[in-house]
Structures are given as C-alpha cells and as structure tokens.
Homo-oligomer: A and B are copies of this chain.
Amino acid sequence: MEASRKDLAFRTREGLIHVSRKPPEIDEEDESEFLAHYQGEEYPRPSVAVDLVILTIVDVDLKVLLVRRSEHPFKGVRALPGGFVRVGDSSKNQGEDLDAAAARVLSEKTGLPSRSLYLEQLYTFGKANRDPRMRVISVAYYALVRPDLVPFVEARQMVENGSPRAVWLSFSQTGSEPLAFDHSEILKTAVKRISGKIDYTDIAFELVPATFTIGELRSVHEVIKGTAYDPGNFRRRFQRMLADRIIEKAPGKRLTVSRPAAVFRFRRP
C-alpha cells in the first residue's frame, strides 16, 4: 500500500499511521448515499431487544432468573428473560421508552412493580450474527431483587401450569451450562459491573432484606466479590456508614445460631 505524495504519515505507539488529506471518495459517496436512502426507509433496520439479568442472593448464593427457550434457535436452552422494544408506526407514536421496555419485562417476569426493584442499564450487545435468525441489537439491563421479595417472584411462576416459566439458577452453575445466544457473556458482564460498583455505591442494600444485620451485609459483599472479609474490619467500614446516617438502627434483634445480632435499615436517599 503506497501513500500519495500529499498524504501525511506519522509514527505513533501503534506504528506508522497514514492520514489521507482527501477523504476516500468511495467512502464519502457511500455515506451520503446511505444516509439519503436511509431516511427514505429503504435500508433495513435491526430489531432491538432488551435482555435482563435479574439477580438475587439467597442463602449466601448468587442466583439469576432464567427462562427456558421454547423456540428455535437454542430451543430448550436457558436464556435471559427479554423482549423486543415496542416501536410505534409513526413519528407521532414512537412507542415505549427503552427504559420502559426494560421495566416492563422486569415486571412481567417477576410479578413485582419495577419501581420496587433496582434496575440499571448495563451494556449494549450488537455483534452481527449474535442471533442467527436476524439482526438483533440487545440492550442489556440488570436488576437486583432483595431476598425478602424472592418468594413473591416464585409464587408467580407456579400459577400458569406445572412447569415454572422462569427459575432462579445459581450463578456458579451457569458456568457449566451455557446460555443461549451471547447471554453467558451478558451475565458475566453484569456480575463484573456489580462487583465493581459494590465498593463505592449503595447497591449492596438492594441485595439484603429491608432490615439486615452486619453479617448479612458482609456475606453479600463476599458473594459478589468472591472473597472473605474480616468481620471486624468490615464492621468498622459499616460503622462509618452509621455515623454518616446512610443506615440506621432498626428495632429488635436477629436470632441466629449464636449471639443475636443488631438489625439495621438502609436510609434510602
């Protein structure tokens, strides 16, 4: 490949780089032509889906809510719950917000009002051929379900027929049983994100019951980070939150196998 005399080249950390002073003609034509036609709706559009990583922690075990696919491809394989974003058919009626689509799927699958759960956009997965049928771009969200709400989610799954529509599966088991599409990657991305955020945000409180002990909160951190924390040191970290009024004492004590523990409540900001 030879650069024309008017071209620029410079050496960088990535090696020699050529900069053409004229943008390549074919690119320009391509782009403007593409845009012109695109507005005219001649070019194909992708489907856009939302996929949800719905997580909880029960009995010191991270669990994710999964469905089993009833259609090809990946028929019979577990997958993240998801749905297509509903798009209107005119400029006046453009359909539902992206966040609303995620909240809708979350409510559908859990039976809980989405405003009672923590829901946040995770990442958008858009490789070509990630769905063999057609081009699907998936905006992934993750949601956290407090363990005291889990029974309500399970109750919802048992109503329609004998086989549950969605089940909680241990995150540790999802390694040996791959998910449909690129959902294993999405799941891993979600856990990684939470693991990164738990140290400097309040999301840990979305994974304990409304009232909780320091030990319960600690085990949430331990499950997410995959490491053990010194109980005494963790307690000190916690007491700073108490001083900062992020949490407050709740009445009563939690009875355990040993000495009863004080219970606390998160002061939602």
Which residues of A line the B interface, CB within 8 A?
A: 8, 10, 12-14, 17, 19-23, 27, 31, 34-35, 38-39, 43-48, 83-89, 91, 94-99, 101, 108, 111-113, 115-116, 121, 123-129, 132-135, 137, 139, 149, 152, 155-156, 159-160, 210, 266, 268
Contact = CB atoms under 8 A, between A and B. Distances in A.
A121 B127 CA distance: 13
B12 A116 contact: yes
Nearest to A165: B23
B108 A124 contact: no
23 contacts: A14-B113, A14-B115, A14-B116, A19-B112, A23-B111, A23-B160, A34-B84, A38-B84, A39-B133, A43-B86, A43-B87, A44-B88, A45-B46, A45-B47, A46-B85, A48-B126, A88-B128, A96-B128, A98-B125, A99-B126, A101-B126, A121-B124, A137-B137
Given A19-B112, A99-B126, A91 B134 contact: yes
A138 B132 CA distance: 23
Contact of A13 (B19, B132, B268): B268
B43 A45 contact: no
